Structure 1
């Protein structure tokens, strides 16, 4: 088929690389170069970098406005494929391809419609993750689903790891759907069940509440790692928690801190968690026990205070 592909982050690259093997990619639409790093160097998106490597035409657009719509429509695509582009597809562009647009979404729809499905699923403690390919419609992630499947993800996987696994698996799922549309066998069915929403994460979503259970704290840590990052306060200063896990040890009051040779243990609403790596404000990442000993904190200093 003659396709246009829209995507921006690394999670969209596996699908682009898979589709280019079997289909004509008339153009790749991605968001403009963005400033990255401390020096704020303008850097092409991961999708733009992959498209350039593959020798594909690139359209960089912050939003799919009239100008972008005109460029894309002129290519006469049969189908549009979108994976985490970061902008809305509206009419008349939505109906421009003969078969409309399909979207790879990293959840089992109608669960977790929105910008952060993997992160929100992990924070909620979901034990089942997956991906769906659906027909794009004006309403948010509400179109009929061509295919969906669960994807095994380790119980301790953080959001970045889970997203990589889902992106790799979802590439094949999307390719199967495109093939079925091409040969006329593809059938999309209405979403079933209650919808949940997955809004973009904010910095405050990373705040750890030590009165929660160890399971709830670890679920939040997984969902917000690496971005926006799990964090707490110690003596009023913010500290990023880079590595932690539940541990089988005697419970102590929430926020209470004690050390072993391997880790910093912190009390929760249930059993403790082991914090092994932190990043204090204005400093680099470091071993948690080394950082704590360097503080010379007395026994009354707690996490979350």
Structure 2
């Protein structure tokens, strides 16, 4: 099939590579978000999908809005049979959805209808789901509500961060998306409507969502920190500044008040509503990440100090 691939961040790369390597499909162009400032220096960078397309000499389309007439005209000129999508990052108007004969087929990192929306992997980790997965579906106007072609399942491991889980889903999901488009081409695959019951939503995560509440139980603190790792990064307040926190470990031992710090020879503990948790890596503002014990020695924590 003649395809135009839509995607933006690194988790879309395994799927794009799968289509580039396939002898059944021709990648005519990619659609991705416009170049944007990134990193500490705020240098303008191509998206990972755009950079990979550049390496292969493939046309890159970067509309600010998918409804732009110039973009829609170019998409009609390309006349794709299908548009595979992975984490593109923008809503698609009906005028765009109507162009490819076989529609836009999205790889979404959840078992739909669970965790529709922008941050399904983070939501699964934070909720403590034991099983998640990925789904391919035909995009319709309603958010992530289109009929489903195929699914795969993936266990959420006890120490998984969102980054760990997303890496596995991106790799496995690439083959699911490719086989879905193969099946659509062959006429052997028909989508099944999503059930009306059981839908849940994973809204875009904000920096404020990533603030750790040490008044919550230890297991909830653990899940939140892992869910926000690596992006946008869990954080807490310390001496009127924000510090970023890497994954923690639930421990036993003497209880501490919520947020209360205790520095021991080989660990730094912080209290929650239940058991203390052991801090992993800490990153103070303007500093590199470091083990919590090194951070604690550097700031010289006083008895009774807390993370807030």
TM-score band, normalised by the shorter chain? over 0.9
Aligned to 1:82: 85
Matching of residues 95-174 of structure 1 within 5 Å: 95-174=98-177
Q: How many Å apart are 1:223 and its aligned residue?
A: 0.9
Match of 1:229 in 2: 233
State the Cα deviation string for residues 41-62 of structure 1 (Å, max 9, x = none).
2211100111122232221222
Q: Is the counterpart of residue 259 in structure 1 residue 263 in structure 2?
A: yes
TM normalised by structure 1 equals 0.95
Deviations 1:191-237 (A, max 9, x none): 12321111111111111111211110111001111122111112332
Where does structure 1 lack aligned partners over 5 or more consecutive residues? none
Distance in 1, Cα, partners of 2:280 & 2:108: 33
Secondary structure, counterpart of 1:201 in structure 2: coil
Unpaired segments of 5 or more residues in structure 2? none
Q: Which residue does the alignment assign to 1:200?
A: 204
What's the CA shift string for 1:143-201, capped at 9, x where partnerless? 00000121234221111121111110100000110010000011111112321111111
Deviation at 1:278, TM superposition (A): 0.7
Instruction: Tell me the distance in 2 between the aligned counterparts of 1:38 and 1:295.
Output: 24
Q: What is the match of residue 17 of structure 1?
A: 17
State the alpha-carbon separation in 2 of the partners of residues 303 and 25 from structure 1. Answer: 50
**Residues 1:47 and 2:49 are matched in the alignment:** yes
Q: Count the aligned residue pairs.
A: 304
Q: CA RMSD in A?
A: 1.4
Q: After the TM superposition, which segments of 4 or more aligned residues of structure 1 sit over 3 Å from their partners? A: none
Tell me by how many angstroms 1:273 deviates: 0.8
Q: Is the CA contact (8 Å cut-off) linking 2:215 and 2:258 kept in structure 1? A: yes
TM-score relative to the length of structure 2: 0.94
